Structure 1
Amino acid sequence: MLNIGVMVSGGGTNLQAILDQIESGKLPGCRVVTVISSRPGVYALERAKKHHIPCCVISRKDFETQEAYDEAVLNHLKHHDVQLVVLAGFLSLLGERVITAYRNAVINVHPSLIPAFCGKGFYGLIPHKKALEYGVRVTGATVHFVDCEYDSGPIILQKAVEVMADDTPESLQRRVMEQAEWILLPEAIRLFAQGRLKVEGRRVTILNETPERKEVNG
């Protein structure tokens, strides 16, 4: 069984996508064992409570240093025996201690085709606003392993989404979530759970599924 810790900062739509896939049997051998929010009062915490998942708030501003914050996050993850950390709309930066402890076991979903419209400050509606301002014909989402910089780790999966002439940042955001984020994030978790992600430098290779694995996972 793969124990997943999900870190959130907002409504938790990507958390819900993961939970839906687990409940439908499309993520066999996976369970969310804890949800950590960077701030109180967000709806993602309500989603966790509805599914009887232990949740808490660990806010960066409550700690004097990055190291102290990292220690609190790491202690919580270890307490729940988390094996994979999933950043699902999580806005704080994890420090070197957490990244080192979970090397190639922290993944993030970002609402653009990295390296476009990404990095510090590109969150929420901002990547979609910038995509529309730039006039791109396609945008999308990326799932990548996390390192100590924003949106800079090795890419696991990407999916393109067409930009419509009448799009607003809000309509584009919704379509990117529905057509890319909610599909890619559970798929990346499935590949990780099956041991099919091989990281060499910046390149992630998706290994072929063996007949034995297909049989075990139905």
Structure 2
Amino acid sequence: MEAQQILSGFCPKSPSIPIVKHPFSLKFNSLPSSCPSIQSLNLEFPSGAFHPTSTAHKEVCSSSPRRIWCSRSNSTAEAKEEGHEVRSQVTVRKKKLAVFVSGGGSNFRSIHEASKWGSLHGDVHVLVTNKSECGGAEYARNNGIPVILFPKAKDGSNGLSPSDLVNTLRRFEVDFILLAGYLKLIPVELIRAYERSILNIHPSLLPAFGGKGYYGMKVHKAVVASGARFSGPTIHFVDEHFDTGRILAQRVVPVLANDTAEELAARVLKEEHQLYVEVVEALCEERIIWREDGVPLIQSKENPKEFH
């Protein structure tokens, strides 16, 4: 009994997350009978896809004059640099990811495959799409990943509202949201619920060729037509507008003299797949550090005193 009291002091219980049931429709293949708490969700669950998980712990980042720091639940070591203080951990909890897609989801597939092979310290727990029959949704179902339809369809028959989406992602205990070719504006409710936890990838060097209407092949056609000599993917945090959030990572791709939009798109996409996996790897390992002026940096894995 005394030992249990001592242990309880070191291992406080995580606060429970209230579950609010909403009367919207169901859409799934089969659902394990052991999970009655999610019967109210508008999900597509392949057989055996859901596994109960523990409550996620939030990462808290802050800053003070002349230093940056990022506190984490499992931090055990500190790396210091003049003007900076970074608390880095030896081991971190495996992160739970939600990916949003509208099309084929090639970046989603790269992230999922990296997770399966163990190069990411995180797993894709749920896919969100506005097109239930798109290639990304089909890939998710084939790999046992639950599919959520968002936003709600115009006739109101399927899909979730913004508040329902936030509650659903919380039930999945999602740590980070990754937009991978998702063409809808993210609702403010989700941005506020997942502050500094939503990433997007864009196929140009933002802030150039970004904003409403710039997506997919439209971006590459505009780049070629402009005469720009360089392009490439940008990964940025998501705010309430299209492509205006803080830039986290970029990779430069040359625009050749006789490039077509399709040729440029193929080269940029290849870099997208590699860059997104690298950034998500840093995200899951809690190596994203916020400078005091609000600029996010990636801490080097090999040398914690270096930032990208």
Counting only pairs closer than 5 Å after superposition, residues 98-177 of structure 1 correspond to structure 2 as 98-177=190-269
Distance 1:83 1:11 in 2: 24
CA–CA separation in structure 2 for the residues paired with 1:161 and 1:57: 34
CA drift at 1:62: 3.6
Structure 1 stretch displaced more, 34-43 or 105-114: 34-43
User: Counterparts in 2 of 1:63-102, with a 5 A limit?
Assistant: 69-102=161-194
TM-score, with structure 2 as normaliser: 0.63
Quick check: 2:100–2:129 contact (8 Å CA) kept in 1? yes
Cα displacement string for residues 50-95 of structure 1 (whole angstroms, at most 9, x for unaligned residues):
211111221355488xxx8321321221121111000000011112
Distance (whole Å) between structure 1 residues aligned to residue 155 and residue 300 of structure 2: 43
Q: Is the 8 A contact 2:166 2:190 kept in 1?
A: yes
**Distance in 1 (alpha carbons) for counterparts of 2:216 and 2:300:** 34
CA distance in 2, matches of 1:210, 1:139: 28
One-letter amino acid matched to 1:127? V
Measured after TM superposition, the shift of residue 209 of structure 1 is 3.4
Deviation at 1:8, TM superposition (A): 0.5
Q: Are 2:180 and 2:200, in contact at CA under 8 Å, matched by a contact in 1? A: yes
- Partner residue, 1:5: 98
2:283 maps to which of 192, 196, 200: 192
Correspondence for 2:273 among 182, 188, 205:
182
Question: How big is the shift at 1:183?
Answer: 1.1
3-state SS of 2:251 partner? strand
| Structure with max Cα Rg | 2
Residues 69 and 62 (structure 1), Cα distance of their counterparts in 2 relative to 1, 3 Å cut: farther
Cα-to-partner distance string for 1:152-181 (whole Å, 9 max, x where unaligned): 111111001111223222221111011x21
1:58 aligned partner: 150
Residue equivalent to 1:20: 113
Distance 2:215 2:133 in 1: 19
Say if 1:60 and 1:169 are closer, same or farther in 2 by CA, change over 3 A: farther
Aligned residues: 207
**Alpha-carbon contact 2:151-2:162 (below 8 Å) kept:** no
Structure 2 gap segments, 5+ residues each: 1-93
- 1:58 and 1:72 in contact (8 A); partners too: no
Higher helix share: 1
Separation in structure 2 between the aligned mates of residue 174 and residue 4 of structure 1, nearest angstrom: 26
Give how far 1:37 is off. 0.5
Q: Quick one: percent identity of the two aligned structures?
A: 32
Unaligned runs of 5+ in 1: 213-218
- The residue identity in structure 1 corresponding to 2:173 is D
| Higher RCO (C-alpha under 8 Å, 6+ residues apart) | 1
**Aligned equivalents of 2:303, 2:267: Cα separation in 1:** 35
